[in-house]
């Protein structure tokens, strides 16, 4: 502000920070803007951005104290801007965050699970086979799984070597969605679960789509056959809700954002995802839904295309404590074309669902 001009480049900057064509195109380091998520955990206040480490702040004055590795738990150079706080069956809470790494040796995602006192309980590194660019913006968590959607993104090296070097596009515009490749819903087992189940990672292919955010995930146990006990290795039914688009472009145009609603179903046990379907009906006005914990206790402002992936179960909404309403499949949602969606707490609900 004092300089009267931009001082730092970001992933969407064309040319130099002030827009001039003279710049070092091979300097891909960006300022840690810490502008995506805010987290209060174990008495510390963090500001998060997926391209760098968390910033810790004074929770009263909001003074920025600097970058942190969260007590030495973070060994890499990044931590996701989105996270999930999970309430366990015993009433304790868990913080689940993640980081990604991409390079010539391949890509991977790391999950971190923290206790309420800030100590690191689990660190799980999951390699991403055949993925050169891990574009993962958000995750969600169920009882036994860490879950994310892996969209098919490629790096356009030719565009980088031409348009980017000539200040005609940003480095973000060199990321291209590949509609010829399927998207994948990936489920990574959480360690140390009370059930003692021994589960394997699952990768479910679905129709090409781009998913930015995931909201809720929960599991439903299938009743065993008469006379048989529940198998410890048997995978449960998993329900995942995510917001997605048919395609995406990181240009200065928002033509890819559309007010459409999609509904799809995936089966964890059979490793199969059907193609999401689309309808043209209009949803009723959004109201303050009161939901059980396993049905996503949030107020929603969903933008773009909402791709709901129920793994074996239709999502159920409570319109009121006494009336049960099922969300009609495949309906259009007339909402603003914003690139983010917001969740507001519901203070009238008990802690387990707020």
Which residues make up each annotated binding site? 82, 137, 213
List binding-site positions for Fe cation: 82, 137, 213
Which candidate, 135, 138, 171, places its Cα nearest to that of 153? 135
Measure the N-to-C terminal CA separation of the chain; round to a whole number of Å: 39
Would you say 309 and 264 are in contact if contact means Cβ atoms under 8 Å apart? yes
Six-digit token pair at 343?
């969740």
Can you tell me the distance from the alpha carbon of 191 to that of 201, in angstroms, rounded to the nearest whole number?
A: 12
Would you say 147 and 111 are in contact if contact means Cβ atoms under 8 Å apart? no
Nearest 5°: phi and psi at 174? -85, -5
Would you say 155 and 132 are in contact if contact means Cβ atoms under 8 Å apart? yes
What number of other Cβ atoms are within 10 A of residue 42's Cβ? 15
Burial of 255: CB neighbours in 10 Å, binned 0-12, 13-18, 19+: exposed
DSSP 177-199: E-TTS-EEEEEEEPSS-TT----
DSSP H or E segment with residue 157: helix 157-159
What number of other Cβ atoms are within 10 A of residue 141's Cβ? 23
**Buried b or exposed e, range 288-307, using 16+ CB within 10 angstroms:** ebbbebbbbbbebebbbbbb
């Amino acid at each position: 502000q004092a300089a009267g001009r931009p001082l730092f480049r970001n992933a969407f900057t064309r040319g130099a920070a002030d827009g001039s064509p003279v710049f070092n195109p091979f300097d891909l380091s960006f300022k840690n803007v810490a502008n995506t998520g805010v987290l209060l955990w174990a008495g510390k206040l963090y500001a998060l951005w997926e391209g760098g480490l968390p910033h810790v702040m004074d929770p009263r004055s909001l003074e920025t104290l600097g970058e942190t590795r969260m007590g030495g738990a973070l060994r890499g150079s990044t931590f996701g801007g989105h996270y999930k706080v999970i309430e366990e069956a015993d009433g304790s809470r868990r913080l689940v965050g993640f980081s990604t790494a991409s390079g010539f040796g391949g890509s991977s995602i790391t999950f971190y699970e923290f206790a309420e006192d800030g100590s690191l309980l689990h660190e799980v590194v999951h390699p991403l086979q055949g993925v050169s660019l891990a574009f993962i913006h958000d995750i969600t968590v169920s009882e036994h799984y860490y879950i994310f959607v892996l969209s098919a993104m490629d790096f356009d090296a030719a565009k980088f070597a031409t348009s980017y070097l000539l200040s005609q596009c940003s480095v973000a515009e060199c990321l291209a969605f590949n509609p010829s490749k399927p998207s994948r819903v990936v489920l990574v087992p959480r360690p140390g679960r009370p059930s003692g189940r021994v589960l394997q990672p699952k990768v479910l292919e679905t129709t090409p789509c781009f998913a930015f955010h995931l909201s809720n995930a929960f599991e439903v146990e299938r009743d065993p056959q008469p006379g048989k006990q529940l198998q410890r290795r048997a995978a449960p039914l998993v329900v995942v809700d995510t917001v997605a688009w048919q395609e995406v472009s990181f240009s200065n145009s928002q033509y890819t954002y559309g007010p459409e609603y999609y509904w799809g179903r995936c089966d964890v046990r059979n490793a199969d995802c059907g193609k999401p379907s689309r309808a043209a009906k209009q949803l009723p006005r959004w109201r303050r839904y009161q939901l059980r914990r396993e049905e996503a206790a949030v107020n929603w402002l969903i933008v773009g295309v909402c791709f709901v992936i129920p793994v074996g179960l239709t999502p159920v909404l409570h319109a009121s404590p006494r009336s049960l309403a099922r969300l009609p499949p495949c309906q259009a949602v007339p909402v603003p074309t914003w690139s983010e969606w917001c969740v507001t707490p519901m203070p009238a609900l008990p802690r387990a669902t707020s």
